Structure 1
């Protein structure tokens, strides 16, 4: 499994919240995008960007996270000229407010926005131009999906979003989620269509499963959500 042609790609991990951060760059222009950066790992990420000779254009969040504080605000302070981005429906503040079909360009490459609500109202999936890679945030995880019991969660909307906006991608499209708790790093659309234990069920069965997860409240939610509404910093 390889990223698209001419793409610099790095998958990075933050262990406390089990968050994946993704760095994508254009090999020719060196323009880059970072997806779902975490506050505590910004120094690491900036060092990597500098080592690879990249110019960070956009730091984008797939949604307003509840389990960690985003690094987008601090990245803007540390990387001159970079901009923050998040869905218009998230209720958060950013330089770029994203909607269905919007494009995030870096060099000759592009990420296209697909609105995939259900975990939150403002969840988006970012699809590489050739549909070889999709960054699904918390909407679709490897053999799982995001919770729907807080932050405007709605099981029916999540189910419909996955089936209409993600499962319609080519089967070979690589799925890169915002989190994994079992050491898994990547899946494919075809795998998840076949093997996802929740999203292979009927809508009614899925809604019942999600209503009975009985998960504890995310440890950082009361701190993370207010901070993330402001890109992680109060003075962005």
Structure 2
């Protein structure tokens, strides 16, 4: 399997390229619109055909590259069915499987940061989007966020994976590239140390985070698969 972790610095977003080296079929997880040329160059460099672009949720901090990739690489946009994105080509539910060559991608529904968050498991790796971050988690104060739901999602869908499962998050702001389920279950600042559900809900209630800087542009664009001409409404 070919694997590349890519980084968009303005929003500190990680995008992941995975490809079957036999069939040359590929997927991109959480592509960013501004980085399209980088993705297309990588695909050409390795002789890959992009089959799917997977968004872990409807992002509020950057515009997805799904629309541009569909137009220029012929890929299909994949999101959870609760995303409210009518232009999605494939709307997954919990347990859905996608295949590219010998690679199997399992969708695990992990709502709480948003109502449509989905993590993707590939072999001993899990791509958690904004649900589980390294030493943290996604905020729960907008886009149908709910702290109790997020706690349940992480414990039931992610912390139930083997300890050595490698965690690849949607963002990191300190230069860290990956972690492990065992490490996060034990040491995550918000969820580790046997943190109770009630304590987690109380902690998330008092984060006092600023309004997301790009949400008024990114959210309507992403509900249209990355169409920046979509009406921008608060």
Does TM, normalized by the shorter one, top 0.5? yes
The CA distance in 2 between the partners of 1:22 and 1:162, in whole Å, is 21
What's 2:82 paired with? 89
What's 1:225 paired with? 219
Alignment of structure 1 residues 40-59 onto 2, 5 Å: 40-59=34-53
Q: Work out which of the residue numbers 111, 115, 123 in structure 1 matches 2:117.
A: 123
What's 2:144 paired with? 152
What's 2:104 paired with? 110
| Moved beyond 6 Å, runs of 4+ | none
Q: Work out which of the residue numbers 118, 127, 130 in structure 2 matches 1:135.
A: 127
The structural deviation recorded for 1:133 is 0.2
Deviations 1:125-182 (A, max 9, x none): 1001x3x000000000000000000000000000000000000001000000100011
Q: Work out which of the residue numbers 92, 109, 120 in structure 2 matches 1:98.
A: 92
CA contact (8 A) 2:217 2:228 kept: no
What's 2:10 paired with? 16
CA contact (8 A) 2:221 2:229 kept: no
Q: Which runs of 5+ in 2 are unaligned?
A: none
SS at match of 2:167: strand
The CA distance in 1 between the partners of 2:98 and 2:215, in whole Å, is 28
Q: Work out which of the residue numbers 60, 66, 73 in structure 1 matches 2:54.
A: 60
The CA distance in 1 between the partners of 2:181 and 2:25, in whole Å, is 27
The structural deviation recorded for 1:116 is 0.3
Q: Work out which of the residue numbers 187, 190, 202 in structure 2 matches 1:198.
A: 190
CA, structure 1 residues 232+10, in 2 after alignment: closer, same or farther (shift >3 Å)?
same
The CA distance in 2 between the partners of 1:186 and 1:143, in whole Å, is 11
SS at match of 1:104: strand
Alignment of structure 1 residues 173-184 onto 2, 5 Å: 173-184=165-176
Deviations 1:11-40 (A, max 9, x none): 000000000000000011111110000010
The CA distance in 1 between the partners of 2:119 and 2:229, in whole Å, is 27
TM-score by length of 2: 0.95
Alignment of structure 1 residues 64-79 onto 2, 5 Å: 64-79=58-73
Deviations 1:191-228 (A, max 9, x none): 00111011121111111110111110111001101010
The structural deviation recorded for 1:92 is 1.2
What's 2:154 paired with? 162
What's 2:205 paired with? 211
SS at match of 2:126: strand
